[in-house]
Structure 1
Amino acid sequence: MDTVKLQRTYLDLTTPHVADACMRLGIAVRCAPAGMRPLWSGTHVVGRARPSRHYGSVDVFLEAIDRSAPGDVLVVDNEGRLDEACVGDLVTLETARAGLRGIVIWGLHRDSAELRTIRLPIFSLGTLPAGPQRLEPQEAAALSSASCGEHAITTDDFVLGDDDGVIFVPLSHAQEVAELATTIRDTERSQAARMHLGTTFRQQARFDEFLAARKADAGVTFRQHLRSIGGAIEE
């Protein structure tokens, strides 16, 4: 799926929709650590991952940007460190001017006021005034893969981020994940609309039928019941 199609396809899909779709399809659900949050609410970003490992200097970011295509998302691996900020206003502005869609940082950022002015979507573990005081040798794989929590991210992945966090999905599964996520989204929206009109979720889920089925067979789960009637809330 090319960049433009990726943007259009995932424009109205959330990370929960996509996580549920991955789970149902048997695709590994790879989320950034729970502390990963955008700088401001209402953020939504999607794009191919552009990995970059940090060793104390911004040159690795500039090299990653130089290799990027418009629409990519810079994924910065700073090993989740909380003793230094590795991305600030100049790197963010350079990223934005190169046409990238955002930055995901497994680590900290700084220059928050300037970043809000630049308005490029940024996700990180938080902020710290101090930058790095170290300089380590750059590894050969510095621009081919990056870790975000327990997950390894490459250019074969794409990034989706919003107020609930960040998820990484293989580009090869982008279409099927989007199709199922759209179905889940539409089902949940329909369920919510019916609830606002007075039909409880218990009624929609035919909860009395589930309780009767579970009484007859203790192995019956609510998730199985929802699947049988087209519900989606558990996935």
Structure 2
Amino acid sequence: MQEIAQLWTGATGLSTAHVADGCVRAGVAVRCGPAAVRSVSEDAPRLAGRCLPVRHCGSVDVLLEAMDRAHPGDVLVVDNQGRTGESCVGGLIVLEAKAAGLAGIVIWGLHRDTREVRRAGLPVFSLGSLSAGPARLDERRRSTFSSAEFGEHTVRTRDVVFGDEDGVVFVPGDHANEVLMHALQLRDAERSRATSIRFGTTLRQQVQFSAYQRARRTEPELTLDEHLARTGDAGSV
């Protein structure tokens, strides 16, 4: 996992968009966090690590207990069922997570103490902020520490999460290396296309778009990806 995190943080220009497309190339389901989940920090720090799921019950004790189970570099994934009427992670928890060696926190819910969270320097992603914390205390589930719901997806301890300015993407840990290799290839292909555009060769010229349109007159079901494969173009668009 450490190698994956180092590759992610050190690979210039590699993004969650590339990771999502890498999932498609690897035949892995694309599991993006909801669009509203964004970095709390204004400079949107990059994030990668093994998921440490926890289901919030209304009290911080489950978050502290999850940290007791953590390995350095894990990312705390907090399931507060997307609630927007209460916050579930504050500045002290973020500082504690940093002290525990976690790589960051991703919240299906709200945070508070935004100034302190930013000062902590730990990547935190959430739906937004609210001053009020929980006024409830629910019973723990059997799955409190084994899984978390995040939007429409279920996240488990075997998953890896990546985060940047576009949000977060969850990838099965046993496919993470493969997905990242595809992501790097896609990044390189995208850079090549961008360079060609800057030097005067349009994207339409690069993909032989006129030929694609002509082919679709006789093959209406032909996709652009199929056209690119036929022309020997392994790049992405």
Q: Distance in 1 between matches of 2:194 and 2:100?
A: 40
What are the residue-to-residue correspondences of 1:72-221 with 2, within 5 Å?
72-221=74-223
Match of 2:234 in 1: 230
Match of 1:18 in 2: 19
Q: Distance in 2 between matches of 1:42 and 1:109?
A: 16
**TM-score normalized by structure 1?**
0.95
Paired-residue identity, %: 51
Q: Distance in 1 between matches of 2:201 and 2:134?
A: 56
1:51 correspondence with 2:53: yes
Match of 2:3 in 1: 5
Q: Distance in 2 between matches of 1:231 and 1:212?
A: 21
Q: Distance in 2 between matches of 1:68 and 1:31?
A: 23
Match of 1:35 in 2: 36
CA drift at 1:41: 3.0
- 1:187-208 deviation digits (Å, cap 9, x = unpaired): 0011001111111111111112
Amino acid across the alignment from 1:29 = V
Q: Distance in 1 between matches of 2:35 and 2:220?
A: 34
Does the residue aligned with 1:10 lie in a helix, a strand or coil?
A: helix
What is the aligned length?
231
Structure 2, unpaired ranges of 5+: none
Does the residue aligned with 1:94 lie in a helix, a strand or coil?
A: helix
RMSD: 1.1
Structure 1, unpaired ranges of 5+: none
Amino acid across the alignment from 2:52 = R
Q: Distance in 2 between matches of 1:41 and 1:208?
A: 41
Q: Distance in 2 between matches of 1:83 and 1:42?
A: 24
Q: Distance in 1 between matches of 2:43 and 2:209?
A: 35
**TM-score normalized by structure 2?**
0.94
Q: Distance in 2 between matches of 1:29 and 1:125?
A: 20
- 1:122-172 deviation digits (Å, cap 9, x = unpaired): 100010000000011111210111110111111100000111011100000
